[in-house]
């Protein structure tokens, strides 16, 4: 066998792998290391300030607000996307119009977060009580006899309103991946459960969930990383005003609005450190899947 | 009562209701946007878009004036062109380089390839936020910020880890014997890459191209960082988000602008959905 293998020197592989590695060094490895270094320098990267920037990240009210909001996002967005995605994945399997239902729920994944932001900003549009409402949600409130609400203005309601937009975008992604995994469960296994007299809940709890664990881990970790990096929705809909700030938006503001390189770098590093364990679990799952093929 | 009846079975009617409700919830927001974009400004201010549903076929209540406005004075036509230029370069370059690298990493036996592969997988972990400041500084030094070339290269740098990861796992599935046979027949390495590996991986490449295309087309953050305030090179997402600020409550214009930014991804999505899904699954659960 060995003699049939092509003989290659050191140079040939470099022609194939080299360009990509060069890009990674310039656009990822070097900048990431540089960012860690910059996080210990002042706003203009001129003098060393020790942990000053990190102290700001973990103690300033603005940053604490952002962490709190991100935590709210983390819990509600992740539980919502994965939970609804799983529910839809199982339910659409039992209707005849499965394809169209999936297409519709998956569609927001195709459009930009900016586009989705405008779509929902319009849904949330607010007019005073005596004026004709043009936002659907406030119209529904008025019809039901309630006062219209400033969905994006009142905290903490606005955070929930933004999270709903996130759910609308990402649930389809979870559904598509979980649906593929659900269809991979051997039919005999599900039927065996029913023959043994288990009800839908028991089948779900003891057969479906354990069988889908790899896909669930994959999807959950992907959503966790997404939520930590969430930026566009907030940038377009509230720009972090009215108490809706999140970590990624803070970094952007420190970078451009306040031109504080030190703080922006420290925020990036903290974000990175939070992402590491989640991505580790995510990639391990992906590599495992690859090995199993 | 029999045992059968005690079982908590979800009746078919409930399943249908839940799925249909979900479909309605998912389609109504976009429908509202689409309808509003075709209504005259005076109507949009005084009545909700749902009022047209009472007589949806009365065509006199629709207009394309909003589209004419956003495409001319709203700057959406320039942004449309910019989005295309940015997205084509930002898709072709990373996919080509990823194919080269994935081929090298999966089909060439050389020292250090395990290390290179591990490096690439590790790069999946690094959030782009970690790279913004140093890369932007480099770009300012090289006058690459605010240019299409700069954005192509940065999308290449950011898109490569995932692209290589996905293609690598596909190339691994191609039998080595095929490439050994090509070698015995005297094919050069380049020939077996171009004539063998590439044609065999068309499905994976198509998925990746669509994935990267939508990713770059829909990107806002990377464009904001590296294009600065340059209107002349701004893609649709950037233009739209600045219109949200300047048009504020002019919903007839905002909705039309939003739809302009969505039309290409929607066409790609609905015509090539199978590839898109396969691309997602390629990066997720393996079939």
- Complex confidence, ipTM: 0.90
> Tens of pLDDT along B225-284?
999 877 899 999 999 999 988 877 889 999 999 999 999 999 999 898 888 887 777 654
- Provide the domain count of chain B: 2
**What is the mean predicted confidence (pLDDT) over B207-217?**
93
Interface of A with B in 27-86 (CB under 8 A): 27-32, 34-35, 38, 84
- Whole domain around residue B203: which residue ranges? 70-282
Q: What is the pLDDT of residue B8?
A: 56
Instruction: Tell me, yes or no, whether B255 and B147 share the same domain.
Output: yes
Does the pLDDT of residue B78 top 50, yes or no?
Answer: yes
* Residue scoring higher pLDDT (A151 or A3): A151
Residues of B in contact with A214 (CB under 8 A): 285
**What is the mean predicted confidence (pLDDT) over B64-90?**
92
Instruction: Tell me, yes or no, whether B47 and B159 share the same domain.
Output: no
Does the pLDDT of residue B37 top 90, yes or no?
Answer: yes
Nearest-neighbour CA in chain A from B126: distance (Å): 6
Residue B234 three-state SS: coil
Please tell me the CATH code under which domain A46-292 is placed: 1.10.3720.10
Instruction: Tell me, yes or no, whether B169 and B275 share the same domain.
Output: yes
Query: Would you say residue B244 lies in a domain?
Result: yes
Query: Would you say residue B287 lies in a domain?
Result: no
- Residue where one domain finishes, among candidates B18, B44, B63: B63
Picking from B218, B236, B257, B285 by the largest number of A CB atoms within 10 A of its own CB, the best residue to mutate is B285
Q: What is the pLDDT of residue B46?
A: 86
Does the pLDDT of residue B39 top 70, yes or no?
Answer: yes
**Mean pLDDT, all residues of chain B:** 89
Instruction: Tell me, yes or no, whether B161 and B266 share the same domain.
Output: yes
Percent of chain A with pLDDT over 90: 77
Does the pLDDT of residue A2 top 70, yes or no?
Answer: no
Partner residue opposite A122 with nearest CB, options B32, B179, B219: B32
**What is the mean predicted confidence (pLDDT) over B31-40?**
94
Does the pLDDT of residue B285 top 60, yes or no?
Answer: no
Quick one: which of B213, B184, B185 has its CA closest to B84?
B213
Instruction: Tell me, yes or no, whether B151 and B90 share the same domain.
Output: yes
**What is the mean predicted confidence (pLDDT) over B50-62?**
85
Instruction: Tell me, yes or no, whether B53 and B80 share the same domain.
Output: no
Q: What is the pLDDT of residue B7?
A: 46
Does the pLDDT of residue B287 top 60, yes or no?
Answer: no
Percent of chain B with pLDDT over 70: 95
Of A41-45, B70-74, B271-275, which has the strongest mean pLDDT? A41-45
Instruction: Tell me, yes or no, whether B45 and B112 share the same domain.
Output: no
Nearest-neighbour CA in chain A from B182: distance (Å): 10
Instruction: Tell me, yes or no, whether B101 and B55 share the same domain.
Output: no
- Residue where one domain finishes, among candidates B45, B63, B81: B63
Residues of B in contact with A134 (CB under 8 A): 44-45, 47-49, 251
Q: What is the pLDDT of residue A174?
A: 95
* Residue scoring higher pLDDT (A190 or B209): B209
Q: What is the pLDDT of residue B1?
A: 40
State whether B244 and A122 contact (CB < 8 Å). no
Q: What is the pLDDT of residue B275?
A: 83
Query: Would you say residue B184 lies in a domain?
Result: yes
Q: What is the pLDDT of residue B267?
A: 94
Partner residue opposite B269 with nearest CB, options A107, A168, A225: A107
* Residue A289 pLDDT level (bands cut at 50, 70, 90): low
Nearest-neighbour CA in chain B from A156: distance (Å): 22
Q: Where are the domains of chain A?
A: 46-292
Size of interface A-B (CB pairs under 8 A): 318
The string over B131-167, giving b where at least 16 C-beta atoms fall within 10 Å of a residue's C-beta and e elsewhere, is: bbbbbbbbbeeeebbbbbebbbbbbbbbbbbbbbbbb
State whether B109 and A5 contact (CB < 8 Å). yes
pTM: 0.91
> Tens of pLDDT along A136-148?
999 999 999 999 9
> Tens of pLDDT along A182-211?
999 998 888 888 788 888 888 888 899 999
Q: What is the pLDDT of residue A216?
A: 94
> Tens of pLDDT along A109-134?
999 999 999 999 999 999 888 888 99
Residues of A in contact with B90 (CB under 8 A): none
- Residue where one domain finishes, among candidates B16, B35, B63: B63
Does the pLDDT of residue B144 top 80, yes or no?
Answer: yes
Does the pLDDT of residue B41 top 80, yes or no?
Answer: yes
Does the pLDDT of residue B142 top 90, yes or no?
Answer: yes
Interface of A with B in 119-178 (CB under 8 A): 119-123, 125, 132-136, 139, 168, 172-173, 176-177
State whether A261 and B183 contact (CB < 8 Å). no
Query: Would you say residue B22 lies in a domain?
Result: yes
Nearest-neighbour CA in chain A from B87: distance (Å): 13
């Amino acid at each position: 066998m060995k003699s049939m293998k092509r003989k290659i020197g050191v140079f040939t592989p470099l022609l194939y792998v080299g360009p990509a590695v060069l890009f990674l060094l310039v656009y990822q490895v070097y900048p990431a290391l540089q960012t860690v270094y910059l996080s210990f320098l002042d706003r203009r990267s001129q003098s060393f300030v020790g942990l000053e920037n990190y102290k700001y990240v973990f103690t300033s009210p603005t940053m604490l607000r952002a962490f709190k909001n991100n935590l709210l996002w983390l819990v509600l967005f992740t539980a919502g996307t994965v939970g609804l995605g799983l529910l839809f994945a199982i339910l659409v399997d039992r209707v005849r119009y499965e394809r169209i239902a999936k297409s519709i729920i998956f569609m927001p994944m195709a459009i930009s977060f900016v586009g989705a932001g405008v779509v929902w900003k319009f849904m949330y549009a607010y007019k005073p009580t005596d004026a004709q409402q043009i936002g659907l949600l406030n119209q529904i409130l008025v019809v039901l006899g309630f006062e219209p609400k400033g969905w994006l203005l009142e905290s903490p309601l606005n955070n929930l309103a933004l999270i709903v937009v996130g759910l609308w975008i990402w649930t389809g992604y979870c559904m598509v991946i979980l649906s593929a995994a659900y269809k991979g469960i051997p039919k005999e296994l599900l039927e065996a459960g029913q023959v043994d007299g288990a009800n839908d809940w028991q089948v779900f709890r003891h057969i479906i969930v354990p069988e889908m664990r790899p896909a669930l881990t994959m999807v959950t970790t992907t959503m966790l990383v997404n939520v930590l990096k969430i930026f566009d929705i907030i940038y377009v809909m509230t720009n972090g005003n009215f108490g809706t700030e999140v970590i990624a938006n803070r970094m952007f503001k420190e970078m451009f609005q306040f031109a504080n390189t030190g703080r922006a770098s420290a925020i990036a590093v903290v974000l990175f450190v939070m992402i590491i364990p989640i991505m580790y679990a995510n990639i391990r799952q992906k590599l495992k899947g690859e090995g199993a093929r | 009562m029999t045992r059968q009846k005690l079982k908590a079975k979800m009746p078919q009617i409930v399943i249908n209701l839940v799925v249909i409700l979900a479909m309605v919830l998912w389609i109504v927001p976009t429908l509202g946007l689409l309808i509003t974009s075709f209504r005259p400004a005076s109507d949009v201010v005084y009545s909700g878009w749902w009022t047209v549903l009472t007589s949806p076929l009365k065509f006199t209540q629709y207009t394309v004036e909003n589209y004419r406005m956003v495409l001319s004075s709203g700057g959406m036509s320039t942004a449309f062109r910019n989005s295309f230029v940015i997205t084509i370069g930002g898709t072709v370059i990373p996919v080509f380089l990823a194919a080269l690298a994935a081929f090298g990493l999966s089909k060439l036996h050389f020292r250090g390839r395990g290390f290179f592969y591990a490096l690439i997988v590790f790069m999946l972990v690094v959030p782009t936020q970690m790279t913004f400041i140093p890369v932007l500084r480099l770009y300012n030094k090289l006058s690459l910020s605010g240019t299409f070339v700069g954005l192509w290269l940065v999308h290449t740098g950011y898109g490569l880890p995932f692209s290589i990861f996905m293609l690598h796992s596909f190339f691994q599935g191609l039998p080595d014997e095929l490439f050994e046979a090509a070698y015995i027949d005297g094919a050069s390495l380049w020939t077996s890459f171009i004539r063998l590996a590439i044609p065999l991986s068309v499905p994976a490449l198509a998925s990746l191209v669509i994935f990267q295309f939508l990713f770059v087309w829909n990107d806002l953050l990377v464009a904001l960082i590296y294009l600065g305030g340059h209107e002349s090179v701004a893609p649709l997402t950037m233009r739209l988000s600045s219109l949200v600020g300047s048009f504020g409550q002019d919903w007839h214009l905002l909705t039309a602008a939003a739809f302009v930014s969505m039309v290409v991804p929607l066409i790609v999505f609905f015509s090539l959905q199978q590839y898109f899904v396969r691309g997602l699954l390629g990066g997720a659960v393996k079939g």
